[in-house]
Chains A and B, each alone.
Chain A
């Protein structure tokens, strides 16, 4: 079937309906995170009258030490997004490097890296993450590292098979035969053809990292001083807010986490086209 050639390049990223929704949600959270100081009505650390129900002065009420929940939630967006996105970046980079070296060179390098991947995959992720976070100095970086340590394996495996497929294709063989060096082949010829998978998996990694972070913070293992949605929920639970029915305290973190995770998962539908 022929198509008319206009010399136009195809658009860089095609958005389908799912992605548009995902982008809207994520975009909203990003704006909130960036403009947090402007949007939050109060300083989230300022203490005041505790357990106030939602009212005109405090749209979401206050927590057990009187901090305005709306401000907490707004600032919490920053922490949750930051940890989610950064973990995803690190995970994507690690898995891409492992997949490239493993899939391109094969041989002993591949055997070693595959063994490493299998071991890392077999380790119980949550348990290891909890251990690491407890062991390392508390802080955002520790959380990011602990999650990254086991989260890279899934993407690495998927990318590795795609790299192997690509290396079997004539154009890579021709690149080798015309004398192009390995590094350039990997960066110029292999990575662009992995773009779709990488972007899709990266979006899903953010979701996954955000959920893990929420879980860790809920358990009290997250970044101690910072406000994150998970830590808000932590206090809500451990200060008996749930039993006492202070819905304005425990619902917002749950809803926001779910919504943000959904947003990134929708973005992960990159490449899925509606059959027209």
Chain B
């Protein structure tokens, strides 16, 4: 189980930037959650915060615990064991994160060498059934090839295979379909479907992908969590005005949306400004919105909007 409680991430520099603001998530074993949001909403930073892979000027507050173990307090040796071994990370789409100079079989098996003390030979052999599992046919041949002979979709699936090679309990996927075309997006979705036992937390800006991959959806806007719930509910009956605009803006739904003006520049989010962050785009704002709303819970469907205050 992965538990995030009031997690905030602030980058300290000449101008401090609040990249993640008070996010709480409780991911039970085997759950599949997708986080959707625009660029700059803080979703990728959140994943990196869990793995403690942020640059040194990032300050993480709140608590992050995996199966009760406090990840923020773990020392670097323990984190090394955790990364890849217990919590693994699949980076952005295109499989460009594969080392072009090493054979794919070696790279896919590498987590096993690191975390399960396999030998190089054993790890390489173990990579073959992994590749087969992700529908990469001619897996023997592929294991001996280099990444450049793979297509983008194949590389991304190899990355997924590498991500789960050492049998982690939790898989964090960071925009695994960015830059991929529809067909490849489906391949990645299928690949992630094959990860049944592990807990999945997937960050994406692609709503259709989020629906197919996640059973729960968390919507992030301006570093905050604005909605959380069952994916069918959030997509079918979105509550927060931002989520509703997102769904209405989809080509499937006719690309309609009700916003006043365009999205403002992503300025530094500090509480000096106060108030609901969606205020200047929201057509349904009220006077109350000058104060930041808390996260209201409506039968498990959470939303950060004053419109739902009475139903608390």
- Given a CB threshold of 8 Å, the question of whether A touches B is answered with yes
Task: State the CA gap A3–B17 with chains docked (Å).
Answer: 6
Once bound together, how far apart are the Cα atoms of A100 and B50, in whole Å? 47
Cα(A3)–Cα(B40), bound, Å: 10
In the assembly, what is the distance between CA of A26 and CA of B19, in Å? 43
Interface members, chain A 1-19 (any B CB < 8 Å): 1-6
CA distance A276 to B11 in the complex (A): 13
Residues of B within 8 A of A276 (CB): 56-57
Q: Is B267 an interface residue (CB 8 A)?
A: yes
Cβ contact within 8 Å between A1 and B17 = yes
The contact of A5 among B11, B19, B57, B265, by CB within 8 Å, is B265
Determine whether the beta carbon of B15 is less than 8 Å from that of A6.
Answer: yes
Bound CA span A2–B45, Å: 11
Which residue from chain B places its CB closest to the CB of A2 in the assembled complex? B266
In chain B, residues 1-53, which have Cβ atoms closer than 8 Å to a Cβ of chain A?
11, 15, 17, 19, 40, 45
Counting chain B residues whose Cβ lies within 8 A of the other chain, the interface size class is: 10 to 19
Contact residues of B between 126 and 151, Cβ < 8 Å to A: none
Report the minimal beta-carbon distance from A251 to chain B, rounded to whole angstroms.
45
B11 near A1: Cβ-Cβ < 8 Å: yes
Q: Which residue in chain A gives the minimum CB-CB distance to B9?
A: A1
Smallest CB separation, B44 vs chain A (Å) = 9
B268 at the interface (CB under 8 A from A): yes
Contact between chains at B56 and A2 (CB < 8 Å): no
Give the dominant DSSP class at B's interface.
loop
Partner of A3, one of B15, B56, B57: B15
What 1/0 flags go to A232-247 for Cβ under 8 Å of B?
A: 0000000000000000
In the complex, the answer to whether A4 meets B17 with C-beta atoms within 8 Å is yes
List A contacts of B17 (CB < 8 A): 1-4
Q: A residues within 8 A CB of B11?
A: 1
Residue contact B19 to A4, C-beta cutoff 8 Å: no
Nearest residue (CB) in A for B45 is A1
Give the CA-CA distance A69 to B159 in the complex, in Å.
68
A109 to B222 Cα, complex, angstroms: 51
Contact across chains for B45 and A4 when beta carbons are under 8 A apart: no
Residues of chain B within 8 A (CB-CB) of A1 are: 11, 17, 19, 40, 45
How many angstroms between the C-alpha atoms of A1 and B19 in the bound complex?
A: 7
Bound CA span A193–B76, Å: 40
Question: Which interface residue of A1, A2, A3 has the most chain B CB atoms within 10 A?
Answer: A2
Residues of A within 8 A of B266 (CB): 2
Residue of A nearest to B41 (CB): A2
Q: In the complex the two chains form, what is the Cα distance from A4 to B57 in whole Å?
A: 15
Residue ID in chain A nearest B18 by CB atoms: A2
Q: How far is the CB of A14 from chain B (nearest CB, A)?
A: 13
Q: How far is the CB of B107 from chain A (nearest CB, A)?
A: 26
Q: Are A4 and B56 in contact (CB under 8 A)?
A: no
Within 8 A of B (CB), among A187-215: none
Q: Which residues of B are found within 8 Å of A3, using beta-carbon distances?
A: 15, 17, 268
Q: With a CB–CB cut-off of 8 A, which chain A residues contact B19?
A: 1-2
Residues of A within 8 A of B40 (CB): 1-2
Q: How far is the CB of B57 from chain A (nearest CB, A)?
A: 7
Query: How long is the Cα–Cα vector from A196 to B15 in the complex, in angstroms?
Result: 26
**Structural contact, A2 and B57, CB atoms closer than 8 A:** no
Complex Cα gap A265–B17 (Å): 36
Using CB atoms, name the residue of chain A closest to B16: A4
A5 to chain B, nearest CB (A): 6
Please measure, in the bound complex, the distance between the C-alpha atom of A2 and the C-alpha atom of B40, giving whole angstroms.
6
Q: How far is the CB of B172 from the nearest CB of chain A, in Å?
A: 18
Q: Which residues from 22 to 76 on chain A have a C-beta closer than 8 Å to any C-beta of chain B? A: none
Task: Give B254-290 interface residues, CB cut-off 8 Å to A.
Answer: 265-269
Q: Could you tell me the distance between the alpha carbons of A82 and B56 in the complex, rounded to whole angstroms? A: 45
Contacts of B15 in A (CB 8 A): 3-4, 6
> In the complex, what's the smallest C-beta–C-beta distance from A11 to chain B, in angstroms?
12
CA distance A260 to B140 in the complex (A): 59
Contact with B along A116-147 (1 / 0, CB 8 A): 00000000000000000000000000000000
Complex Cα distance, B9 from A65, in Å, reads: 73
Chain A residues, Cβ within 8 Å of B57: 276
Residue of A nearest to B17 (CB): A2
Enumerate chain B residues within 8 angstroms of A2, measured Cβ to Cβ: 17, 19, 40, 266-269
- A2 smallest CB distance to B (angstroms): 4
B77 to chain A, nearest CB (A): 22
Could you tell me the distance between the alpha carbons of A6 and B17 in the complex, rounded to whole angstroms? Answer: 13
Q: Given the complex of chains A and B, what is the CA–CA distance between A153 and B265 in angstroms? A: 45
Across-interface contacts of A5 in B (CB, < 8 A): 265, 267
Bound-state CA distance A1–B11 (Å) is 9
Residues 226 to 262 of chain B near chain A (Cβ within 8 Å)? none
B267 partner residues in chain A, CB cutoff 8 A: 2, 4-5
Chain A residues with CB below 8 A from B269, complex form: 2
- B residues apposed to A, CB below 8 Å: 11, 15, 17, 19, 40, 45, 56-57, 265-269
16 contacts between A and B (CB under 8 A): A1-B17, A1-B19, A1-B40, A2-B19, A2-B40, A2-B266, A2-B268, A3-B15, A3-B17, A4-B15, A4-B17, A4-B267, A5-B265, A5-B267, A6-B15, A276-B56
Residues of A within 8 A of B (CB): 1-6, 276
Which 6 A-B pairs have CB atoms at the shortest separation, nearest pair first?
A: A4-B15, A4-B268, A2-B266, A2-B40, A2-B17, A5-B265
11 more A-B contacts (CB under 8 A) besides A2-B266, A2-B268, A3-B268? A1-B11, A1-B45, A2-B40, A2-B269, A3-B15, A4-B15, A4-B17, A4-B268, A5-B265, A6-B15, A276-B57
